[in-house]
Amino acid sequence: MSDACCGQPPTHSEPDRGPTRLWQVRELQCAVGAALLLAGAWALGHADSHTAATVLELLAVAVAAWVFVPDALRKLRHGKIGVGTLMTIAAIGAVALGQYPEAAMLGILFSIAEGLEHFALARTRRGLRALLSLVPPSVTVLRQGHELPVAPDQLVIGDLMVLRPGERAATDGVIRSGRTSLDLSAITGESVPVEAGPGEEIHAGTVNGGGAVEVEVAALAADSSLARIVHIVEEAQERKGTGQRLANTIATPLVPAIMTLAALVAVVGSIVGDPMLWIERALVVLVAASPCALAIAVPLTVVAAVGASSRHGALIKGGAALEELGLVRVIALDKTGTLTRNTPTVVAVVTTRDATEREVVVLAAALEARSEHPLARAVLATATDPVLPAEDVTAVPGHGLIGVVNGVRIRLGKPTWITPGPLVPEVTRLQEAGATVIIVERDEAVIGAIAVRDELRAEAPEAVAGLRRLGVDVAMLTGDNERTARASARDAGITTVHAELLPEDKAALLGPLSRERKIAMVGDGINDAPALATADIGIAMGAMGTDVAIETADVALMGEDLRHLPQVLAHARRARRIMVQNIGFSLAIITVLIPLAATGVLGLATVVFIHEFAEVLVIANAIRAARTTPTPGLTAAPGTSGSVNMSFTAQT
């Protein structure tokens, strides 16, 4: 707490090695020991053994003060002052004035507050690092034709892991043989298994729910997607938001100001009245004005909220992102890959008299052969003949492709770029049915159209309804044509639709859509980069294993289930309310206690009790940010009380 008050980041031991029970916390052990000594002193005092009682009282002071006095003195030697400094001065002053029980109570209550804070931090961070325990203690690999059990840290890139039914992947890899169903619930929060076969990626912590598969290792265990998530979230927990900056802005200069105020109370009071009385009141002011609760009001809330969110499939990049997310009132959703499954399929091919369906598909596939666009994959999957890539292929961003096939110029693109000509009625019909239509032109003559449909996610209407219940306005921004976009939006329950947009158009629309309110953009983290960067909050969908999405977005939803969106939004709002409550309560306590302490209405023992009890309340309130209820169908990552099954070195 003294670090926080001085603007220094707190240091924490490895969370998985920290205390797992309250009785293991050193500060609480000292507090209990001091309390027992003080109780013994009270009993001896009532038995008229005053000398022995005084000895026990001084021992109680020493035991309780051992928690904070040595550290405060070390920092003071380096010119750093904080709450520990204030408590040390108050304790020494109380002893000098002969108020041994009050000095002991100050130390005991301060130690309890310190211990509870450290235990809360360790628990929330340990819950996050528990994700690493999803990595199994050993994994079977094929080396020189033999199956060998090895530790995850001994895996090398290129190894073949053998995953039997029920086993977890120790790191990221690519399936080379076998088919199975993968349980990603511990990572993404989604309970529905995913079918996977050769060539498909598998991530660390994934459970093999079907047949045995061989997986080629693609990343060291310490560099896996799971380890990267933990590292990013731990960094995010240290990032300061507006509330935390406000708390630090107030708390940092407050400590020297409190010392100055206490000195003035002592000096001025001694001039006009009894010096001993006013020195005592000055010590009480030191305790009353200590910004302990204010210093931890926001950081502890951020740690708890960000850690809890990560265990439910959403990475929030620090306090600033958490606070901004809690203020969002408008959300703009991309269509492809966000509202839809991102697995488009060809549903129809229509032609003019100048070509057959086979020719249209072959020519389109030739232009799409080297494209990574989802629509390209759908076209290539439909082509039954071998595809030879076109020559001189040029992409026209936001419109389509131009290339040469067997010396003939071919164009492929949107109906707004290539006029459908005789196919207008067919194109209109297909678009109204919710399909995206690609026009194929050969030598400046339209020869056909390919209709591709990307089905709406089954949970999209529920997710949109959940956002509306939170009072959030929802809009769709897409580069698709107007008819297709409106058909998809209608099924999802969205009324505000902006279609046929280029990437820069999406970014430009965010301002008018927000109408001075906080707006979030939800996309894939790559294609929607301008809009994600322009929005107050950029949210990347399906970011598991995608470096660009995780690193660039303010919030990354690890899974593909849209219901994560209202869940993380509600969680951020609740966390922000807790921050505001803690800051307000902390300032109110200081404001009320200072005049009461300075005027002698409250004595040292009373002020110590109220001050430290208020700090305990702030800690308890902050811990509430770690509680979140998963949406039905979404699950939380399992916690653990055991050890982590792999080493993890934070990277800078």
261, 288 contact by CB (below 8 A): no
Around 322, how many Cα atoms within 13 Å sit in the side-chain half-sphere?
A: 39
Q: What is the pLDDT of residue 651?
A: 42
Stretch among 488-492, 529-533, 564-568 having the lowest mean pLDDT: 529-533
Mean pLDDT for 209-228 is 84
Q: What is the pLDDT of residue 37?
A: 92
How deeply is 307 buried, as exposed, middle or buried, from its count of CB atoms within 10 A (0-12, 13-18, 19+)? buried
Helix axes 604-623 and 299-310, enclosed angle (nearest 10): 20
**Per mean pLDDT, which of 84-98, 137-151, 191-205, 249-263 is the most reliable?**
137-151
Task: Provide the whole-model pTM.
Answer: 0.69
> Tens digits of per-residue pLDDT, 400-440?
899 999 899 999 998 989 999 999 999 999 988 888 899 99
Whole-angstrom distance, CA of residue 560 vs CA of residue 548: 17
Mean pLDDT for 158-168 is 89
Grade residue 650 by pLDDT with cuts at 50, 70 and 90.
very low
Share of the chain above pLDDT 90, in %: 22
Mean pLDDT for 56-65 is 89
Mean pLDDT for 16-44 is 81
* Number of residues assigned to the chain: 652
More confident residue, 463 or 90: 463
Residues annotated as catalytic are 334
480, 336 contact by CB (below 8 A): yes
Helix axes 374-382 and 357-368, enclosed angle (nearest 10): 140
509, 497 contact by CB (below 8 A): no
**Which residue shows structure tokens 């959030």?**
472
Mean pLDDT for 481-500 is 89
Grade residue 640 by pLDDT with cuts at 50, 70 and 90.
very low
Q: Indicate the pairing of strand 194-196 with strand 180-183.
A: antiparallel
Q: What is the pLDDT of residue 540?
A: 82
Mean pLDDT for 205-228 is 84
Neighbours of 624 (CB within 10 A): 16
Q: What is the pLDDT of residue 332?
A: 94
More confident residue, 287 or 634: 287
Average pLDDT, the chain: 81
Q: What is the pLDDT of residue 519?
A: 94
**Per mean pLDDT, which of 301-310, 382-391, 455-464, 536-545 is the most reliable?**
455-464
Grade residue 364 by pLDDT with cuts at 50, 70 and 90.
very high
Neighbours of 20 (CB within 10 A): 14
Q: What is the pLDDT of residue 233?
A: 60
Angle at 16 between CA 15 and CA 18, to 5 degrees: 60
Q: What is the pLDDT of residue 442?
A: 93
Give residues with Cβ within 8 angstroms of 438, minimum separation 6: 364, 375, 379, 400, 412, 413, 414, 449, 450, 451, 452
More confident residue, 253 or 77: 77
Amino acid at 652: T
More confident residue, 404 or 222: 404
Q: What is the pLDDT of residue 475?
A: 95
Helix axes 275-288 and 604-623, enclosed angle (nearest 10): 0
Angle at 623 between CA 617 and CA 629, to 5 degrees: 135
How deeply is 312 buried, as exposed, middle or buried, from its count of CB atoms within 10 A (0-12, 13-18, 19+)? buried
Is it the case that residue 14 has pLDDT exceeding 70? Answer: no
More confident residue, 373 or 60: 60
> Tens digits of per-residue pLDDT, 273-303?
888 888 888 888 877 877 777 777 777 788 7
